[in-house]
């Protein structure tokens, strides 16, 4: 009997531990190590340990891409928040039996091919696309607007692909807001705006930050979006991809990824601080994250 217990337990714990150690923990460690090594034409990487790669990330050229792609990602995050928050609020206010259906309609595209959906945006934004055709036939413009291959297109693409990630945490945060608080505030004479700003927003701030992170974390790496929609407007992911697959400068590519992780880690840290702050203030916790 004892033998049996330990055997099942052994495999249940062992398999997942070994897998995650081998394909998540060790690889991430290797990225960190590689970022301090030197490029080598024969073995890809070679020994002299140095910080050269990190110095190179400060090069104006790469710094520009970093700033640009952070800017586009942050803009996409703001767009998602500005659309996602009212959207989630509208869903919460619907009758209970409608809520799952609407949520499902938002999440559905998330599970479909995002490359295909990005490509589909070309039909909308292109010079002969839907928007330009519409504006031309209405006589509002003389010649097609350049929408595709712009920063605007990248921001739109990122927001389009990542919107569901924003709506879900916002919905679960909004759902938990105690309506009685809002009623009490109303009875005490608070206006609609002040109820929203001083009750709903603070109570849902863990959801807001979680949603923002879910958009921001993957955004900078989504090289196919900038590839298909951005033209020359690159995301950090494009640079990393070029370093690994074309230039074959793994140490520098790794350094760029480490930089990305550090940047994102910093934002995660901000999130947990904000969540802690809120839970001290309002007595809710971030168990939904």
Partner 1 sequence: MIRTFRFGFLALILFFIYLPIGVLVVNSFNDSRYGTSWQGFTLKWYERLLANESLMTAATHSLTIAVVAATVATIIGTLGAVALYRYQFRGKAALSSMVFISMLTPDIVMAISLLIIFIAIGIELGFISLLLAHITFCLPFVIIAVYSRLRGFDVKMLEAARDLGASESRIFWKIILPLAVPAVASGWLLSFTLSLDDVIVSAFVTGPGYEILPLKVYSMVRVGVSPEVNAISTLLLVVSLVLVIISQLLLREER
The residues in 114-143 that bind partner 1, with binding defined as CB under 8 A, are: 114-117, 119-124, 128-130, 133
Q: What is the rounded distance in angstroms from the CA atom of residue 61 to the CA atom of residue 31?
A: 23
Angstrom CA distances, 37 to 22, 187, 239, stand at 21, 65, 19
Question: Least distance to partner 1 from the beta carbon of 175, Å?
Answer: 15
Q: Identify the DSSP state of 109.
A: G
Which 257-276 positions form the footprint of partner 1 (CB under 8 A)?
A: 257, 260-261, 264, 268
Question: Least distance to partner 1 from the beta carbon of 58, Å?
Answer: 20
Mark residues 222-261: x for contact with partner 1 by CB under 8 A, - for none. Answer: xxx--xx-------xx--xx--xx----x--xx--x--xx
Question: Least distance to partner 1 from the beta carbon of 94, Å?
Answer: 8
* Nearest to 103, CA basis, from 28, 170, 12: 170
Question: Least distance to partner 1 from the beta carbon of 231, Å?
Answer: 12
| Burial class (CB within 10 angstroms; exposed 0-12, middle 13-18, buried 19+) of 204 | buried
Mark residues 25-54: x for contact with partner 1 by CB under 8 A, - for none. Answer: xxxx-xx--x---------x----------
**Close Cβ partners of 107 (under 8 Å, ≥ 6 residues apart):** 164, 168
**Close Cβ partners of 200 (under 8 Å, ≥ 6 residues apart):** 89, 174, 177, 182
Burial track 150-167 (b if 16+ CB lie within 10 A, e otherwise): bbbbbbbbbbbbbbbbbb
Q: Which stretch binds partner 1 (CB under 8 A): 19-27, 53-61, 171-179, 200-208?
A: 19-27
Task: Check residue 16 for interaction with partner 1 (CB under 8 A).
Answer: yes
Question: Least distance to partner 1 from the beta carbon of 67, Å?
Answer: 18
Report the residue from 1, 60, 138, 179 that binds partner 1 according to the rule CB under 8 A: 1
Helix (H) or strand (E) holding 23: none
Which 132-191 positions form the footprint of partner 1 (CB under 8 A)?
A: 133, 160, 163
* 3-state class percentages of the chain: helix first, strand second, coil last, to nearest 5: 75, 0, 20
Question: Least distance to partner 1 from the beta carbon of 50, Å?
Answer: 18
Report the residue from 153, 220, 275, 284 that binds partner 1 according to the rule CB under 8 A: 220
Report the residue from 78, 83, 181, 190 that binds partner 1 according to the rule CB under 8 A: 83
């Amino acid at each position: 009997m004892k033998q049996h217990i330990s055997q099942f337990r052994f495999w249940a714990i062992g398999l997942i531990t070994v897998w995650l150690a081998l394909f998540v923990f060790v690889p991430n460690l290797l990225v960190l190590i590689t970022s301090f090594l030197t490029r080598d034409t024969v073995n890809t990487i070679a020994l002299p340990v140095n910080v050269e790669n990190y110095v190179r990330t400060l090069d104006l050229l790469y710094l520009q891409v970093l700033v640009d792609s952070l800017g586009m990602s942050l803009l996409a995050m703001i767009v998602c928040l500005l659309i996602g928050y009212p959207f989630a609020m509208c869903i919460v206010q619907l009758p209970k039996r409608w809520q799952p259906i609407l949520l499902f309609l938002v999440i559905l595209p998330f599970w479909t091919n995002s490359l295909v959906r990005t490509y589909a945006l070309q039909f909308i934004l292109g010079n002969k696309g839907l928007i330009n055709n519409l504006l031309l036939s209405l006589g509002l413009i003389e010649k097609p607007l350049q929408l595709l291959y712009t920063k605007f297109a990248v921001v739109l693409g990122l927001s389009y692909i990542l919107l569901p990630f924003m709506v879900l945490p916002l919905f679960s945060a909004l759902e938990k807001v105690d309506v009685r608080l809002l009623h009490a505030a109303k009875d005490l004479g608070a206006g609609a705006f002040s109820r929203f700003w001083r009750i709903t927003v603070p109570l849902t701030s863990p959801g807001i930050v979680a949603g923002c992170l879910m958009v921001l974390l993957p955004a900078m790496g989504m090289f196919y979006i900038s590839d298909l929609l951005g033209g020359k407007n690159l995301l950090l992911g494009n640079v990393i991809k070029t370093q690994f697959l074309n230039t074959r400068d793994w140490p520098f590519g790794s350094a760029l990824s480490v930089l990305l992780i550090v940047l994102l880690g910093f934002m995660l840290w901000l999130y947990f601080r904000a969540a802690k702050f809120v839970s001290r203030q309002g007595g809710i916790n971030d168990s939904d994250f």
